[in-house]
Amino acid sequence: MSNSYPEKLIVVPLESKVLLPSVILRLLIRGKQATDLTKSYFRSANTKSHDIYIACIPLKPCHVHAEETAVMSSQAPQVPIPQQDEAGLVSARDRHRLMDYGCLARIIRVQRSGTNLFGVFVEGVSRFQVHQYTQNTPSMAFPGCWVAHVNYFPKPVDVSNENALKFKELSQIFVSKMKELQLPDTLLAQLAKVVNTMPPSALADLLVCLIETTFDERLLMLSTVSLDDRLQKACEFLTRQLHVLHISDNLGAGIDGKLSKKQREFYLRQQLEAIQDELGDDNKKGLSGGPQEEDELSDLHKRLVQANLPNEVVTIAQRELKRIKRLQPSSSEWAVSRNYLEWLADLPWNISGSQQLDIQRSKQQLAKDHFGLEHVKKRIIEYLSVIKLKGDLKAPILCLVGPPGVGKTSLGRSIAQSMSREFHRISLGGVRDEADMRGHRRTYVGAMPGLIIQGLRKCKVNNPLILLDEIDKLAHSSHYGDPAAALLEVLDPEQNCTFSDHYLNVPFDLSNILFIATANSLDTIPEPLLDRMEVIELHGYTFEEKLHIAKTHLIPKQVKAHGLQIEQVKITDEAILHIAENYTRESGVRNLERTLASVVRAKCVEMADLQEKQNKQQYSPSVSVSDVEEILGNTKFEKEVSERESYPGVVTGLAYSGSGNGGILFVEASKMPGDGHLHLTGSLGNVIQESAKLALSWVKSHAYGLKLTSHSKEKMVQDDDIHIHFPSGSIPKDGPSAGVTLVCALVSLYSGKCVPTTTAMTGEISLRGQVLPVGGIKEKIISAHRAGIRKIVIPARNQKDVETDVPETVRGEIQFCYAKNIWQVLEAAFDDHQLYQLQESHL
């Protein structure tokens, strides 16, 4: 052999693989020594000085019999190497597994595959025998690396013509057999060129790596010195391979059509299956793949056993395990079955989280996280008390309804903490596919379970608290199905114990889960779904409640988020109330938090400026009302009542929006010469237009009793047109609660008497003059109090709502007049002199 090759080579071990001359492999190496080796290659490549060579030496099988290591597989394009030490190419335990034969390899390309991980492409050059292993000292190049001292095999001498001709003939037959498999033309052309031009010594090594050979057979080819002997072995292997192909043809040409489109590994496994079927080997190894796939299935089986599956699910899992063992790992069905079994193994079929039921601790937790909301806290404490006494109780399905920003979502998390349960949130806003709830059937590509089952897998217990956020935002009746209808079974305590997800296709008990839904409005929730939930309404916060929330929660949160200390920002109570009243008129506290964040940022800027100027002692942490106006600018909202004067025909009503916000609403009535027509403006809906017509009819029928006409036969509006307008015309308005306000506006218009601007009213009327109850009482009263109203007329049947829902601080500053009929509304709306006249006329 030529002396141009080095006799001392850095050792790179190969696990269950053999590198032969003329063959290219990709090795994965890692660690500090790998980094040093690749740096040497890059330096050589940049200077184009010389090639970098290494010794690729196979490892002896570790604790495995020889026949078990003879796994039928081809030379893979990427060769894994044994697990190395953090810095070394050869681990301490692999040092004694190094064989005495190897192949000189030339590094032809290096790719970085990760941190200290490299993919190295090497080309086999020449065989050698190792006569000594040494380890480099720290002062040497490549410190710590193992070095092989090698003797190269002599150059091949002339081979017998008989062996060479036989090998060439078998090689040509092999190429023709490959053409019958309909392989790509480019691949066939390259293979034919190699067979025709490559010398027998190199061709023998190459074909042995292409066909089915065992580790021991390739090792024998590596260690054989005589070229004649190597050609004889190669002829034996090729003859066996051609016989296998012949058997495969006899078993059916249909397989070949499939194989032409698959990777080479899949083709070889198909051939292996054909051989085993031909031999009739009943005890053959399962075709689920190599050792890695078998380990996966064994581990999966253990996980299924540990999952403590119900009997019905055990039967299905056993059937699926038997099926997957008959499948190929490269097939899509194998991956689908494995994913399905993993889902069965990961679900908490009988795993419940421990509930540390401490009623007092739960009360303290709820009080700490949320201010007010007493009726919600009361319901949760009732549920926990029953659980503690009885031991088991079907969890209620709660639905928290209220305007944005009042703490519905955070309340669900707080409830989970108070009950010591796992918490999982599912956002339903915009969900339009029924499969998102029930899961996709496994026949579809990329199928997975629904959101409920996914949440259980993440929580790892079967009794979490699942928050169904924004349940009123579900899309309904699309061509993907109705997700709201799919929730009917989930939210029914009598049915969800046998909930069946389309993906799992087995029943799963959801009765231990505490479901809490949140919504801004009940109008868009279907009646059957709403019937399954216990509705708890969360109302907007009063100014006093917002003050308390800002001081205890919002300001400390924003101060911490902006890197300040709590003593570095002190916002006065007057400033907080000024922000809430004049900058953030809302039911919740989201805008209040954003506005407070703006104030805190302004203090951050002030402190940073003073620090740069080294005048930090001039910093003042206090924030007053004037500071707020300087930071936030002009106020965004003004009190609509205090600056107004009373006019005949103008009355203040109360309004309620679907988002949970209340407000005051002005009704303006005027008359003009005409033909008795009624004109309504202000973006009004059908119901409120009907209320206006009803109010006019009642006033016309009682005009004489109201002293609006001089005798009972006189027509009140025969020669007048009446125009009723609701300001803020861009905002749609509807509902029956403006009935009493419309009556008072018409009476005020024709009597010339004014209703005080600090008096407001709400209520529906009937044609007989009855005042009917309305909704949104708390929001209306709080908004009226915010606007400066000090007297409110409401239906008598809403008195209980005032006493239970309205805060005592608000009730103490407002005079409430409860009316059963319109006459009592009119008596409360006008001053004392007018009150006497109306009472007299009514009597």
Please check if 409 is assigned to a binding site: yes
Task: Tell me which residue has tokens 């010339």.
Answer: 752
Copy the structure tokens of residue 170.
Answer: 């078998």
For residue 497, the number of C-alpha atoms closer than 13 Å in the C-beta half-sphere is 5
By CB neighbour count within 10 A (0-12 exposed, 13-18 middle, 19+ buried), where does 326 fall?
A: exposed
Q: Is 481 annotated as a binding residue?
A: no
In the chain, the amino acid numbered 352 is S
Report whether 403 belongs to an annotated binding site.
Answer: yes
User: Cβ distance 416 to 554 under 8 Å?
Assistant: no
Q: Using alpha carbons, select from 582, 575, 577 the residue that is nearest to residue 639.
A: 582
Mapped onto helix, strand or coil, the DSSP state of residue 556 is: helix
Phi, psi of 642 (to 5 degrees): -65, -30
Angle in degrees, 0-180, between the axes of helices 332-346 and 311-325, rounded to the nearest 10: 150
C-alpha 251/C-alpha 254 separation (Å) is 9
Q: Give the separation between CA 7 and CA 54, rounded to whole angstroms.
A: 10
Q: Which stretch of DSSP H or E encloses residue 136?
A: none
Of the candidates 483, 460, 480, the one whose C-alpha atom is nearest the C-alpha of residue 470 is: 483
| Geometric angle at alpha carbon 128, from 127 and 130, rounded to 5° | 155
Three-class SS string for 449-475?
A: CCHHHHHHHHHCCCCCEEEEECHHHCC
Annotated binding-site residue? 405: yes
Closest by CA position to 659, among listed 540, 832, 481, 495: 540
Q: Are 720 and 672 in contact (CB under 8 A)?
A: yes
- The two tokens of residue 752 are 């010339």
Q: Are strands 764-765 and 534-537 parallel, antiparallel or unpaired?
A: unpaired
Check if the beta carbon of residue 810 is closer than 8 Å to that of residue 804: no
**If 0-12 CB within 10 Å is exposed, 13-18 middle and 19+ buried, where does residue 93 land?**
exposed
The answer to whether 799 touches 773, Cβ cutoff 8 Å, is no
CB neighbours (10 Å) of residue 266?
A: 16
Query: Is 639 a known active-site residue?
Result: no
**Any binding-site annotation on 391?**
no
d(CA 611, CA 619) in angstroms, rounded, equals: 9
User: Of these residues, 691, 737, 748, 751, which one is catalytic?
Assistant: 737
Catalytic residue among 546, 603, 753, 780: 780
763 is in an annotated binding site: no
Is 404 assigned to a binding site? yes
Please answer whether residues 422 and 455 qualify as being in contact, where contact means their C-beta atoms are separated by less than 8 angstroms. no
8 Å CB contact between 8 and 63: no
CA-to-CA separations, 343 to 287, 443, 457, 460, 608, in angstroms, rounded: 23, 16, 8, 12, 54
Q: Which residue has the tokens 């050698």?
A: 128
Q: Which helix (H) or strand (E) holds 55?
A: strand 53-58
List, as own/partner pairs, every contact residues 718-721 make where C-beta atoms lie below 8 angstroms and the sequence separation is at least 24, other chains included: 718/676, 719/673, 719/674, 719/675, 719/676, 720/671, 720/672, 720/673, 720/674, 720/676, 721/671, 721/672, 721/673, 721/674, 721/675, 721/676, 721/677, 721/678, 721/679
- Would you give the DSSP letter of residue 51? -
Query: Does residue 491 contact residue 515 with C-beta atoms inside 8 Å?
Result: yes
697 is catalytic: no
Best CA proximity match to 760, nearest among 735, 781, 777: 781
Q: What angle do CA 657, 663, 665 make, to 5 degrees?
A: 100
Whether 289 has a binding-site annotation, put simply, is no
Region label for 603, one of left (φ > 0), alpha (ψ between -120 and 50) or beta (otherwise): alpha
Between CA 411 and CA 56 the distance in angstroms is: 64
Catalytic residues: 737, 780
Residue positions forming the annotated binding site for ATP = 402-409
Residues annotated in a binding site:
402-409
